[in-house]
Amino acid sequence: MTTDYKAHRLEGRVAVVTGGAGGIGLASVRRLAGEGARVVIGDVDLAAGKAAADEVGGLFVPTDVTSESEVNNLFRQAYDTFGSVGIAFNNAGISPPQDGSILETGLDAWRKVQEVNLTSVYFCCKAAIPYMQRQGKGSIINTASFVAVMGAATSQISYSASKGGVLAMSRELGVEFARQGIRVNALCPGPVNTPLLKELFASDPERAERRLVHVPLGRFGEPEEIAAAVAFLASDDSSFMTANTFLVDGGISAAYVTPL
Ligand SMILES: NC(=O)c1ccc[n+]([C@@H]2O[C@H](COP(=O)([O-])OP(=O)(O)OC[C@H]3O[C@@H](n4cnc5c(N)ncnc54)[C@H](O)[C@@H]3O)[C@@H](O)[C@H]2O)c1
């Protein structure tokens, strides 16, 4: 069931969401649709992707974001079906266990993470921008992470480097296309309560606690809290924001000493 958000800020807009079959992407699909957008999901998870699209009356396009032709097809189908592409939430990403300390991370793992997390955003922006240029308006939201602005002793070296790349690319695109009405912002979530983190909490509370102690708000974020930020960045409520590092992180990146 789609929740009806009173603001309805996205009526008449078409939103492409990569990685929309689960986690932050799925919560955002629900929120964007709840605010009136027509949503197009690109994901490799065929069953969950289709279920998500059906739930919100949207379109599912099977898409591996590491393939330029599949990404081009995703945006083309969105345009052909709904007549425009006004919002691109480039969100698909992975953090596999093979990606760890630089001393142990092999080239294959490094490259895989770069392709899914960073090269995909290059493909998606390259595909989305020409549609937005036609209408002189668009909002691109690229998912980076709080690790793009701070370092972790528990390293995932390729992941952090990929998110730093997403942040820098978003900033540059935001500046380049600002006067064409296209806004590009990097969304930097803090640690979010996903199945992976829940597992960590259950299996190793001490490890989870080591992370939680750094978050001033004293908890992990919920996918719906990130989705609310996505809807804001997608809407005209953020019309004076572009090339922004948009941290939604419970205060983690600002903290030195945290409250008791
Ligand atoms: N969860 C967190 O704590 C957190 C924090 C900061 C940033 N992020 C970022 O937020 C984004 C979403 O993370 P999440 O926690 O919701 O992850 P998730 O694993 O719950 O969902 C990711 C989605 O992307 C899809 N996907 C994976 N590889 C793909 C590919 N090659 N092509 C198309 N789709 C693909 C998956 O099928 C899945 O539906 C990622 O970019 C992640 O790096 C997450």
Ligand 1, residue 49: give the atom nearest the CA.
Answer: 39
What residues pair up with 39 in beta bridges, in sequence order? 15
Tell me if 52 sits within 8 A of 20, measured CB to CB: yes
CA of 91 to the centre of ligand 1 (A): 6
> What tens digit of pLDDT does each residue of 87-140 get?
999 999 999 999 999 999 999 999 999 999 999 999 999 999 999 999 999 999
Average pLDDT, the chain: 96
Q: Which pLDDT value is given to residue 198? A: 80
CA of 236 to the centre of ligand 1 (A): 26
Catalytic residue among 79, 122, 131, 159: 159
Give the binding-site residues of ligand 1, using a 6 Å CB cut-off.
18-19, 21-25, 43-45, 63-66, 91-94, 116, 143, 145, 189, 191-192, 194
Q: Which pLDDT value is given to residue 197? A: 76
Q: Which pLDDT value is given to residue 260? A: 84
Mark the ranges of the chain whose per-residue pLDDT is less than 50. none
Q: Which pLDDT value is given to residue 168? A: 99
159 is catalytic: yes
Among protein residues, the one whose CA lies closest to atom 41 of ligand 1: 93
In degrees, rounded to 5, the angle at the alpha carbon of residue 247 between the alpha carbons of residues 120 and 87 is: 45
CA of 23 to the centre of ligand 1 (A): 7
CA of 71 to the centre of ligand 1 (A): 16
Among protein residues, the one whose CA lies closest to atom 25 of ligand 1: 19
C-alpha torsion sign, points 157, 159, 164, 168? positive
The number of beta carbons lying within 10 Å of the beta carbon of residue 207 is 12
The full set of domain ranges for the chain reads: 14-250
CATH topology of domain 14-250: Rossmann fold (3.40.50)
Q: Which pLDDT value is given to residue 204? A: 85
Q: Is 256 exposed, middle or buried (0-12, 13-18, 19+ CB in 10 A)?
A: exposed
